């Protein structure tokens, strides 16, 4: 039987900007031998306040760009894109573009793990306006753990604070206090909080300080990394298409020098970014 030939390629990691670097960081620790192609759509960030149609269109353009670079597997390392675009891309676009390629998100793996953490079955979610309005987390969690109640809080100022490197300053405290207070006032039984935006791990210590000490704060990076390793193990037909030289390239739709300097807030690496046009 003849074997279909292919060229092994990096795993594509996509985010609206820098947030996906917190996921890439953990994925590389879990899968150090793999190659990665990171794409940040910095020219059009933030996605969190944009409509469904716009997030879907931008995300699809970026996924198609990564496919044109050869990626067989793309991870949407962005909750907003996972919430608003992933399902449509998987169900409507992939069968037409190339049914052998795969696009995975960050919401499902997080939902799968969350039952392990809560004892009260009351969970809080911090996310962008888009992620919260999509209701994707409560819906995914309900499918797997119908007994868990999810209360969501949109935090529209957190991404701009982080992107402007203001998140460690006193000014950020006001917005952290505001949203942690709103969440706990909505449900005082919450014992587990999901940071449902890939930027938010940078605010984790401030968030933990404002929440009661019995509340566990969950960042997604390690969960997504372990879930990806497991996926590749279960899908050798995808795994064999992933190149493994331990290299990462960084692409941005904005200014590459700005990307290289700002990316260091998110990831300790020598980053030299390249500018690309995805449209
Ligand atoms: N990092 C993205 C997420 O996980 C949000 C950033 C944005 O608003 O573009 O949702």
What is the model's pLDDT at position 3? 55
pTM, rounded to two decimals: 0.95
75 and 164 belong to one structural domain: no
Counting the structural domains of the chain, the total is 2
Closest ligand 1 atom to residue 47 Cα is: 9
The answer to whether residue 3 is domain-embedded is no
173 and 252 belong to one structural domain: no
Strand, coil or helix: 226 = helix
CATH label of the domain that carries residue 144: 3.40.50.1860
What is the model's pLDDT at position 269? 85
Q: Which residue has 């995808």 as its token pair?
A: 238
Contacts of residue 108, Cβ cutoff 8 Å, sequence gap at least 6: 140
The answer to whether residue 5 is domain-embedded is no
Domain that holds residue 95: 11-106+222-275
Read off the tokens for 262.
Answer: 């700002």
What is the model's pLDDT at position 4? 61
Read off the tokens for 217.
Answer: 């704060």
The residue whose C-alpha atom lies closest to atom 8 belonging to ligand 1 is 48
28 and 63 belong to one structural domain: yes
Instruction: For the chain, give the mean pLDDT.
Output: 96
The answer to whether residue 73 is domain-embedded is yes
pLDDT exceeds 90 at position 2: no
Model pLDDT for residues 203-219, shown as the tens digit of each residue: 999 999 999 999 999 99
Ligand 1 site residues (CB inside 6 A) read: 15-17, 19, 45-48, 78-80, 128, 131, 159, 197-199
Contact indicator for 20, 80 with CB cutoff of 8 Å: no
Closest ligand 1 atom to residue 45 Cα is: 9
Given 220, 236, 257, the domain boundary residue is: 220
What is the model's pLDDT at position 156? 95
Query: Minimal CA–CA distance to 101: which of 59, 56, 57, 66?
Result: 66
CA 51 to ligand 1 centroid distance, Å: 13
Model pLDDT for residues 148-204, shown as the tens digit of each residue: 999 999 999 999 999 888 999 999 999 999 999 999 999 999 999 999 999 999 999
130 and 172 belong to one structural domain: yes
Closest ligand 1 atom to residue 18 Cα is: 1
Give the C-alpha separation, 197 to 112, whole Å: 17
Show the DSSP H helices in 126-169 as ranges: 129-134, 136-144, 158-163
What is the model's pLDDT at position 63? 98
95 and 113 belong to one structural domain: no
24 and 59 belong to one structural domain: yes
∠ CA 270-67-261, rounded to 5°? 20
Which residues participate in catalysis according to the annotation? 78, 197
pLDDT exceeds 80 at position 1: no
193 and 101 belong to one structural domain: no
Mutational pocket test of ligand 1: of 13, 14, 15, 221, the residue with most ligand atoms within 8 Å of the beta carbon: 15
């Amino acid at each position: 039987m003849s074997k279909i030939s292919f060229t092994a390629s990096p795993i594509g990691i996509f985010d609206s900007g820098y947030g996906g670097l917190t996921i890439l960081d953990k994925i590389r620790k879990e899968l150090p031998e793999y190659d990665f192609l990171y794409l940040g759509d910095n020219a059009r960030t933030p996605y969190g306040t944009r409509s469904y149609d716009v997030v879907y269109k931008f995300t699809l353009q970026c996924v198609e760009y990564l496919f044109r670079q050869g990626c067989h597997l793309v991870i949407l390392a962005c909750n907003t894109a996972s919430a608003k675009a992933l399902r449509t891309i998987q169900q409507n676009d992939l069968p037409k573009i190339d049914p052998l390629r795969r696009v995975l998100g960050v919401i499902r793996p997080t939902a799968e793990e969350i039952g392990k953490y809560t004892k009260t079955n009351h969970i809080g979610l911090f996310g962008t306006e888009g992620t919260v309005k999509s209701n994707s987390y409560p819906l995914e969690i309900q499918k797997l753990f119908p007994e868990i109640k999810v209360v969501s809080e949109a935090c529209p100022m957190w991404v701009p604070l982080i992107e402007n490197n203001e998140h460690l300053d006193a000014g950020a405290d006001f917005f952290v206090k505001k949203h942690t207070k709103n969440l706990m006032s909505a449900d005082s039984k919450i014992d587990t909080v999901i940071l449902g935006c890939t930027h938010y791990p940078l605010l984790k210590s401030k968030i933990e300080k404002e929440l009661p000490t019995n509340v566990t704060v969950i960042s997604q990076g390690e969960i997504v990394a372990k879930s990806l390793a497991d996926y590749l193990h279960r899908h050798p037909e995808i795994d064999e298409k992933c190149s493994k030289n331990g290299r990462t390239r960084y692409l941005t739709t904005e200014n590459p020098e700005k990307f290289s300097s700002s990316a260091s807030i998110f990831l300790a690496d020598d980053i030299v970014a390249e500018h690309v046009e995805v449209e």
